[in-house]
Amino acid sequence: MRDAPAVDLNQPEHYINRELSLLQFNRRVLEQALDEGNPLLERLRFLCISSTNLDEFFEIRVAGVMQQVDLGSVQAGPDNITPADLLKRISREAHELVREQYRVLNEVLTPALAAENIRFVRRTHWSPKQAEWVRRYFNSELLPVLSPLGLDPAHPFPKVLNKSLNFIVSLEGKDAFGRNSGLAVVQAPRSLPRLIKLPKEYAKGPHDFVFLSSIIHAHVGDLFPGMRATGCYQFRVTRNSDLFVDEEEVDDLLRALEGELSSRRFGDAVRLEVADNCPPEVANFLLQQFELGPDDLYQVHGPVNLNRLLALHDQVTRPDLVYPAFTPGLPRRLERNSDLFEVLRRGDILLHHPFESFVPVVDFLRQAAADPHVLAIKQTLYRTGPDSAVVKALLAAARAGKEVTVVIELRARFDEQENIGLATRLQDAGAHVVYGVVNHKTHAKMALVVRREGRRIQRYVHLGTGNYHARTARIYTDYGLLTADKVICEDVHKLFHQLTGLGKATRLRKLLQSPFTLHKTLLQLIAREAECARAGKEARIIAKFNSLTERQLIQALYAASQAGVKIELIIRGICCLRPGVAGVSDNIQVRSVVGRFLEHTRIFYFHNQGEPEVFLSSADWMERNMFRRVETCFPVEDARLRERVIKQGLLAYLADNTQAWVLQSDGSYRRLKPAANQKPRPAQALLLEELA
């Protein structure tokens, strides 16, 4: 038996800052762009993803810290970093990350692409023939839609859309009215492509491209006849994009969100990106217009909107430069019998996406919609994507007269507009649509089918760790469980009543639920392993999820580590727990796996004296998931399926020595590499071989 040493677990040195941890994740994503083991166009995609992630980081996380500073808050988190100090550290690390992004683009990827005859042709390298084509393209495609805006007392600085491409132009001379303010702004409409492919007859290779910004730079003077453009500098502003709706003060959440969405485009500025050749006086002028300081300025050597380079994927057909295509696998029981209801009456089906197909989930709903014996379908929707087969099945069921109830989370960040349209379509088809619970996002992923079979009512359920989104099911790792288990189906039925009606939370027999039972049960399960360790018994916890920030869970893991529990955490993104601290977290290892697919499964394993308990969940170990969201956590009870989850969902990732990064006690990550006598063991690639 081991007694935990008397260590104050509230000491700030035991915690890693959430925002700085998220920046570390973006560094790991960017590192994939440098990995020559990845196909070249996929490396470019990772660069774009790191840029998109950074955009969202500023729009939401940095915006929130800036608001705290503006309000004079000095409240520090568990790490004891005040908002003002945090903002400085974010700026320093984000600037380093941006410099590395453009170094990777200019010094690594652009030359590598050129070696494959995929070129970005700069203005200085245009041939006379190419320059003439560009001039015609500008006159026919750009000139009709560009609106130059001179700056003077009658033309104040324009409203600039969030993340839009703009140019500030310095001018000499006077216009027809005698005005000579010296500055103008040109806004590039979002409808214009940022990357334009040169026609074959004007290109030197099969894939020659010019940037929209280069075309505008070359001909910006044509927008100001009789004046001389002495400089043209691209810029982009990032704005606060978090939406605020006081749900207790509004009568109609949908209409309130519709009104708030338009403000996202013009929220407070949080970052300014400008071309690195922009003169200091012009950059300072822009900072003043957006009420930003020097730390908020990012000067870049290349296009200010790196994520638009993702368009190259659609314009270049080179199978040798992308990941090889694969066909997701199908459980054998479904290959032999396409009647899902009959299959489920004989036992559960577990699906591991994207290695296994998402089609059975769609078929589950399609069959329910077409089956005359199905009486009702209930489902939660968080993100679905455009032209969703899942939504089509629900619409078909509603039009067929079935009772269709859909809980749509209108506040799914950056999908609000799409979800508002989805709610309207379903209501028009006759479905019952609700928006969940006030002040709690409905993040649970569940679908319930009620079917009459002879004289009895039979329920069938799908529970998942990810969204009902067919596209992300091809690029996110997730688990889905299809079951006819009577108790689980009754629990899901109770959850839907809770979401759509009123009343006290009723006791669930197998499912754990946020905000009521999940957090306290996790604490109990961790404490149980600690008791086993103190009694000299084997004790082990393995957990895989996206983020760990919740302090009570971190402290429970610290206490379990002190008791001797072996704890292995597989955390894709944010981790505020500091592993490897003597006397605190000696027995905790944290790793992050970054690869072809975005790791998204949430799996919780407890050794339980040799009788393992395994749970799948929609919830991360964060405050919001435990207390401010409706989440589900469900057991994998079938022994065969449970072993599959342990082997494929956990042990395969713990054995990864190729795409795994191990968190050090100083907050940095070290990438694992196979030793000289080891075979590479990339978990995702091995699962593709085994399941797809």
Which amino acid type is present at position 82? T
Q: How far apart are CA 95 and CA 513, in angstroms?
A: 40
pLDDT at position 5 over 60: no
Query: What's the mean pLDDT in 249-270?
Result: 55
User: Which among 619, 480, 473, 613 is positioned nearest to 546, based on CA atoms?
Assistant: 619
Q: Beta strand 441-442 with 629-635: parallel, antiparallel or unpaired? A: parallel
Q: Which two tokens stand for residue 140?
A: 């026919």
* Tens of pLDDT, residues 270-296: 999 999 999 999 999 999 999 999 999
User: Which among 65, 650, 647, 37 is positioned nearest to 323, based on CA atoms?
Assistant: 37
Structure confidence at residue 255 (pLDDT): 53
pLDDT band at 338 (very low <50, low <70, confident <90, very high): confident
SS (H, E, C) 497-515: HHHHCCCCCCCCCCCEEEC
Alpha-carbon separation of residue 664 from 26, 437, 548, 641, 658 (angstroms): 17, 40, 15, 33, 17
pLDDT band at 147 (very low <50, low <70, confident <90, very high): confident
Q: Beta strand 588-593 with 660-663: parallel, antiparallel or unpaired? A: antiparallel
Structure confidence at residue 182 (pLDDT): 83
pLDDT at position 246 over 50: no
* DSSP secondary structure, 115-142, as one string: HTTEEE--GGG--HHHHHHHHHHIIIII
Q: Are 170 and 277 in contact (CB under 8 A)?
A: no
Helix (H) or strand (E) holding 175: none
Non-local CB neighbours of 444 within 8 Å, separated by 6+ positions: 380, 495, 513, 618, 630, 631, 632
pLDDT at position 251 over 60: no
Specify the residue for token string 């027809």.
176
* Tens of pLDDT, residues 47-73: 999 999 999 999 989 999 998 998 898
Q: Across 161-268, where does the E strand assignment appear?
A: 166-172, 183-187, 195-197, 207-211, 228-239
Average pLDDT, the chain: 91
pLDDT at position 175 over 70: no
The residues that are catalytic are: 443
Rounded (5°) CA angle 466-470-475:
70
* Tens of pLDDT, residues 107-126: 999 999 999 999 999 999 99
Structure confidence at residue 265 (pLDDT): 53
* Tens of pLDDT, residues 82-111: 999 999 999 999 999 999 999 999 999 999
* Tens of pLDDT, residues 189-235: 888 899 999 999 999 999 999 999 999 999 999 999 888 899 999 99
Query: What's the mean pLDDT in 225-253?
Result: 73
DSSP secondary structure letter of residue 466: S
Alpha-carbon separation of residue 117 from 110, 112, 323 (angstroms): 10, 9, 19
Q: How far apart are CA 503 and CA 198, in angstroms?
A: 63
- The domains located in the chain, with CATH, are 18-321 (3.30.1840.10), 332-507 (3.30.870.10), 513-691 (3.30.870.10)
Structure confidence at residue 154 (pLDDT): 56
Specify the residue for token string 């084997």.
538
Structure confidence at residue 190 (pLDDT): 85
Strand order in the sheet with 166-172: 147-150, 183-187, 166-172, 228-239, 269-275, 297-300
Q: Phi and psi of 184, rounded to 5°?
A: -150, 160
Q: Are 529 and 535 in contact (CB under 8 A)?
A: no
pLDDT band at 250 (very low <50, low <70, confident <90, very high): very low
Structure confidence at residue 417 (pLDDT): 72
Structure confidence at residue 264 (pLDDT): 45
Q: How far apart are CA 143 and CA 549, in angstroms?
A: 50
User: Which among 22, 21, 12, 8 is positioned nearest to 79, based on CA atoms?
Assistant: 12
pLDDT at position 263 over 70: no
Structure confidence at residue 421 (pLDDT): 76
Alpha-carbon separation of residue 89 from 93, 94, 177, 296, 548 (angstroms): 6, 8, 49, 12, 21
Q: How far apart are CA 79 and CA 59, in angstroms?
A: 23
Q: Directed axis angle between helix 83-103 and helix 18-34, to 10°?
A: 0
pLDDT at position 256 over 70: no
State pTM to two decimals: 0.92
Q: How far apart are CA 660 and CA 653, in angstroms?
A: 8
pLDDT at position 658 over 90: yes
| b/e code 429-446 from CB counts within 10 Å (16+ = b) | bebebbbbbeebbbbbbb
